Chains A and B, each alone.
Chain A
Amino acid sequence: MASSSTPKYNSNSLESSSSKRTLKDGTNWEQNEEIPRLPGETRVTDKDVIYMCPFNGPVKGRVYITNYRLYLRSVENDPVVVLNVPLGVISRIEKMGGASSRGENSYGLDITCKDMRNLRFALKQEGHSRRDIFEVLTKYAFPQSHNLLFFAFVNEEKFSENGWMVYNPMSEYRRQGLPNERWRVTFINEHYGLCDTYPSLLVVPYNATDDDLKKVAAFRSRNRIPVLSWIHPETQAVIMRCSQPLVGMSGKRNKDDERYLDIIREANGQISKLTIYDARPNVNAVANKATGGGYEGEDAYPNAELFFLDIHNIHVMRESLKKLKDIVYPNVEESHWLSSLESTHWLEHIKLVLTGAIQVADKVSSGRSSVLVHCSDGWDRTAQLTSLAMLMLDSYYRTIEGFEVLVQKEWISFGHKFASRIGHGDKNHADADRSPIFLQFIDCVWQMSKQFPTAFEFNEQFLITILDHLYSCRFGTFLYNSESVREKEKVTEKTLSLWSLINSEKSKYTNPFYSKELNRALYPVASMRHLELWVNYYIRWNPRIRQQQPNPMEQRYMELLALRDDYIRRLEELQITNNSKIPNSSASSTSPSQMMSQVQTHF
């Protein structure tokens, strides 16, 4: 009824705006564009090469290398092929072909990137040209291995917003209603004396003294004691995070730790047991005893219930992503796509992480029991679980700013080892510490936003931008492993925050369909029937598998919004005119529906 009788709003603006198009594989097809340069970015070298494009064949061009990026522009103008790659995404540079290489375009460089693509350049065999470019690239792509600064430290960009102001731990805890009569803020870690991978400000049970905390720290791997991440506004049940207890082969016990967990259990005023979620598979938790770790045994913790969530370790995740790349780059596996996808296990891992987070969230929300989450060290799987559970329970984290706070809090401040997991500026591409844990978390968030397209203030571009700058080293946000190192390196003084970029251009990252809803728990369905491969991220370099941009539904919605606003404006004008004739009618000046107000900034 609505659609059939409504006047027709045509969405044919696509064609008119398409004269200047950007392919999503980072290849721009634009005319006469200057080579982009950020303030602080300096040109190092340039060279004629042939870009071996896996989709369009060899492209003759000139490559420009700066201290921030690799930029290629084709010689041919129709169309212009452009590559624009921050050096930070490079994971490995290899020489291909030797002096004796005969085949056409078989001599050159092969560059493996962290963002699911490879770049190949063929070079002429003359002089030291390849050696020179190889050395320059290696130097600037891996500054840490060459005693150079990250580009973030020489970046001179200016933004209207200061992203470093987004997260203030004290105001975030206050937003949650903390401290209160059961939970207190402690500065025991102010100089990272208790735990060098934790932030300086921690929230702990009111009834535990700083002395207690020190004793507990001795029994928790890397002193990562149980601290509060989130408190449920109604049930007062909390999500706590920590590392594994140091039980060891002999099954050690620690009275202080046991008492501390009991204090936590009692703090929400319920008589229920404390629920402990060990993110690992049972066997791994048992195996950890051999190296001094382990889990909370029933004898020592009679008031706690322990569940294993079966999420695999960082190495399994790394291998899984590698397999995924194999089936999507450069070509998408043609036959048996589904079984190939299944054999990477990538979505299965996503399912396990989401399932774990749902359990945590549900326990806190409807089970009214406080929850303790840990894995081995409490900075990978634990961060995934707590942050996803918080995203499900607290709608604040589903806003742009709230999500920034969530990442800043659960990941950056609580010591997810970004430097080790990503390998920023480090040439050891095969380092076993590298793992796509944060990517997996963002994928989970994307799955949720896909299932609930109106529940998140941010759009897909927001998530992709975060991932792009996870590698780019343009911002200080994801550099280093912990707050203590960041403080030493003066990151907030010397670099810019990624949130400065995003918050200065918020409309670009806003989901027009967002409906603000307070206090609604959002449980995704962690079933393979609903989980999808994030094509727009993992296969974005392939021009054949490309989603329409802009999204046609979004476009249609925006057109309607514009039309509505136009009507309102014209109506108001009309009424003003009419009101001069009819004395007692009131012209309305309020927005027609507050629900829509946040998207109006688009025009």
Chain B
Amino acid sequence: EIHIKEPIEKEVNPHLLPGELLLCEASTVYKYMQEDGSNRGTYGKLVCTNFKISFLDDDSTSDDNEPEFKNKIVGENDITLQCVDQIYGVYDEKKKLLTGQLRKYPERLIIYCKDLRVFNFCLRYTKEEEVKRIVSGIVHHSQTPKLLKRLFLFSYASAAPNNTDGRNQTVMFDTLEDWRDELERTKGNVKYKTVTTNEGYRVSEKLPLYFVVPICISEESILKYEGRGIPIWCWSCHNGAALLKMSAFPKEQDDSTSQMQKAFMDGIYKTISKPPYELLKMDDLSSSLPSLQDIQTAYTRFKQLFLIDNSTDFWATDVKWFSLLESTNWLEIIRRVLKKAIEVAECLERQHTNVLLIEESATDLCCVISSLVQVMMDSYSRTKSGFQSLIQKEWVIGGHGFLERCNHLRKSEKEEAPVFLLLLNCVWQLVQQYPPAFEFTETYLTVLSDSLYVPVFSTFFFNSQHQRDTSASGESLKTQSGPFRFLTVWDWSVQFDPKAQAFLNNPFYAEKPKPDKNQRKTARFKHQRQLSLPLTQPKPSTKRGFFREETDHLIKNILGKRIGKFINSSDDPPNSFREFYESWHSKPVDYHGLLLPRIDGPEIKVWAQRYLRWIPEAQLHGGGTIAITAKILDLMEEVQSLQVKMDEEHSQAVSGDVHSVTTPRNSARLSSLFPFALLQRQSVKPALPTSTWKDLEDEDDLVKRDDEFVDLSGDM
């Protein structure tokens, strides 16, 4: 019997989402495997839609082992248009950046993605006109400026059946009740109130519809300068100290305006410089933290270290790895941000002092610091729904300019800065330092960072609540369709099936012992660690009322003459930070209490899962932390099945063998890059450095010596 293999005649069609349109395509495109530069790869079709660039493998049908962790929206060979970082064309072995109009078409196309994947397509076997069409199509749709209404978000929202998961526990902060509940939860309602002044966005289009301010702030003052110069509440600590943020007045003002602003602020301070507000520390983040430009530059350099073309590149950069890392400054920025968050936590926790974060717009570094402080101080923010609510509160509703910062519309690179990624990187440091303290895993953070580029969800595709609301109604877009109902990224079932979602939950999470269900809402326990801190007595409020003493500083600051960074009250011991940090670290960790990151050099690490996940050389077969996680998941399943058995035994319904068959994952088979990695390379060949030799000039005389000097030639 002879078996003749039928040529695959089947037409491969891209999997299109509702509202997704095929724009152009090219066949017989050869996709290189990133692995080894051996030119191995597969033929297929390259397509570009209004949502993504996709490579369709010619024999993709033979895909029999479905990966355990799969994104339902973005497949392994899909790149959303927003995920494209840079596109290079290769002409006669020379790489050239492709941006606008093309005169010549390259023989190879390299696509670098924001999630750090690198795709290498060879177009040599593709028909010329198809090359032209696909290359200019891809460049046009991913690299040139776009109108908001052209975002795939809108096509999807109008075409997709709306069946969002109503059971989502994330607090969206788009209603007055959400803010009231949050005030109540944190017991901030004694000194702070929710305001409806911005209904109809009559104060500002940048501010959320509802927000919280000190009780004595009047509606008029909020309206006066579109909410600028008004302290806005973020969160209240268990001792009543609050974290506030404020957007400053723009720097360049003529004299009379600035006089008026000064008078305005004086008024505000007079109004609120009475009890119950006591001490306040102000922190102008634009001078005490790196600028957005610094952050963008650092990240651009940093990510470059992970966008690796081939094995040779990998090993060539390995020799100088640590100094390369350091020269990007990215880890140092993370360290500084974490340090700042500890400083703020110290004020709130130990000094019982209110902290006011100031920034021009109060929507960038303010979001990073206030979110981090809450993650460190409020264990609710370390649960999945708590963290998601926090992102809603501080970022989405808080008005972080995702469109500009991610440059989703390709309008201006000047405004681009990975501010949200910076937060995720900082949170990751905490997650890896204190695994039992978080309900979510690093995989959760990684897929969350990937979701920044998936315009199926509205979460990261608007600059403000106002923009989202008006876009949803369809008014400002002048489109026929609308109102739109957008999906939120927090509905993880859109991207992952339940099995894959399991990887977002941390099996090591030390769940909070549940007190009485009724008590739970109101009672907030002081945790051991908080009690054991060397508390300095709250200082008497006679000396400085809320704002009073610091009015001048503040005004100088805000009106542009930025002097001094942290406005340090003189009666503070200069090493109070160190003392606080060290005293906390000398005690055992309470995973439900205050959590301070360790920030010494060796403790700040590279988020390996996010940055190394696509690099085959960095893969450990059967290794990495996933090996441990897989073991504990197996054990949990076993315990679970035993429990079921127990119940059955109790009810005496069934009887039989104690041990139900749970198939243990073979951790030896898993790659350390699991659940990511494009290729499940199963070869056992070890990765060998190709360039290792390095001169040790400074030790030259030592290098030349032998271990022990003995003349061996004599005894023959």
A residues engaging B (CB < 8 A)?
1-12, 14-15, 18, 21, 218, 221, 246, 248-249, 252, 281, 283-284, 287-288, 291-293, 310, 312-316, 319, 332-334, 336-342, 345, 347-348, 351-352, 355, 358-359, 361-362, 366, 375-377, 380, 433, 435, 451-455, 513, 515, 517, 520-530, 533, 535, 539, 543-546, 548, 552-553, 556-557, 560-561, 563-564, 567-568, 570-572, 574-575, 578-579, 581-582, 585-588, 590, 592-593, 595-596
Contacts and interface: CB of A to CB of B under 8 A. Distances in A.
Interface in B501-517: 501-502, 505-511, 513-514
B326 interface: yes
Contact of B658 (A362, A557, A568): A568
A545 B713 contact: no
Contacts of B321: 342, 527-529
Given A337-B602, A339-B323, A525 B649 contact: no
27 contacts: A1-B505, A2-B640, A8-B511, A11-B591, A14-B590, A15-B528, A21-B588, A292-B713, A293-B712, A334-B600, A338-B322, A342-B322, A352-B692, A433-B708, A455-B623, A513-B628, A525-B686, A528-B318, A529-B321, A544-B582, A545-B602, A556-B436, A557-B632, A557-B635, A571-B645, A579-B655, A590-B659
A2 B637 contact: yes
A316 B436 contact: no
Given A2-B637, A553-B508, 5 more contacts: A11-B436, A341-B601, A375-B707, A376-B706, A451-B623
B631 A552 contact: no
Interface in B407-438: 434-436
Nearest to A10: B513
A481 to B, nearest CB: 12
Contacts of A570: 646
A355 B707 contact: no
B617 A527 contact: yes
A292 B528 contact: no
Interface stretch (B14-22, B193-201, B274-282, B695-703): B695-703
A342 B707 contact: no
B10 interface: no
Contact of A12 (B323, B510, B635): B510
Interface in B662-715: 664, 667-668, 672, 684-689, 692-694, 696, 699, 702-714
A590 B672 CA distance: 33
Contacts of B619: 525
Given A292-B716, A454-B631, A6 B640 contact: yes
Please give me the 3 A-B residue pairs with the lowest Cβ-Cβ distance, nearest first. A337-B601, A292-B713, A292-B712
A556 B322 contact: no
Interface of B: 314-315, 318-323, 325-326, 331, 434-436, 498-499, 501-502, 505-511, 513-514, 528, 582, 585-586, 588-591, 598, 600-603, 606, 608, 612, 617-625, 627-628, 631-633, 635-640, 642-643, 645-646, 649-650, 652, 655-659, 664, 667-668, 672, 684-689, 692-694, 696, 699, 702-714, 716
Contacts of A7: 643
B702 A316 contact: yes
Residue of B331, B591, B713 most packed against chain A (CB within 10 A): B713
Contacts of B635: 557, 560-561, 564, 596
A1 B498 contact: yes
Contacts of B711: 291-292
A310 to B, nearest CB: 5
B713 A249 contact: yes
A590 B314 CA distance: 49
Contacts of A586: 656-657
Given A248-B713, A452-B620, A525-B618, A10 B511 contact: yes
Contacts of A218: 716
Nearest to A349: B696
B689 A526 contact: yes
B646 A560 contact: no
A453 B628 contact: yes
Contacts of A291: 706, 709-713
Residue of A4, A288, A546 most packed against chain B (CB within 10 A): A4
A312 B703 contact: yes
A340 B323 CA distance: 9
Contacts of B502: 1-4
A452 B646 contact: no
Contact of A563 (B639, B713, B714): B639
Given A15-B528, A553-B632, A342 B320 contact: yes
B322 to A, nearest CB: 4
A351 B713 CA distance: 33
Contacts of B696: 312, 316, 345
Contacts of B588: 14-15, 18, 21
Contact of B600 (A529, A545, A592): A545
Given A310-B693, A316-B702, A513-B627, A452 B707 contact: no
Residue of B637, B712, B716 most packed against chain A (CB within 10 A): B712
A520 B623 CA distance: 12
Contacts of A543: 585-586
Nearest to A314: B707
B510 A355 contact: no
Contacts of B631: 454, 513, 515, 557
Given A338-B326, A515-B631, A571 B435 contact: no
A530 B689 contact: no
A358 B686 contact: yes
Nearest to A512: B631
Given A338-B322, A527-B318, A596-B635, A4 B646 contact: no
A248 B716 CA distance: 10
A515 B640 CA distance: 21
B60 to A, nearest CB: 28
Contacts of B586: 543
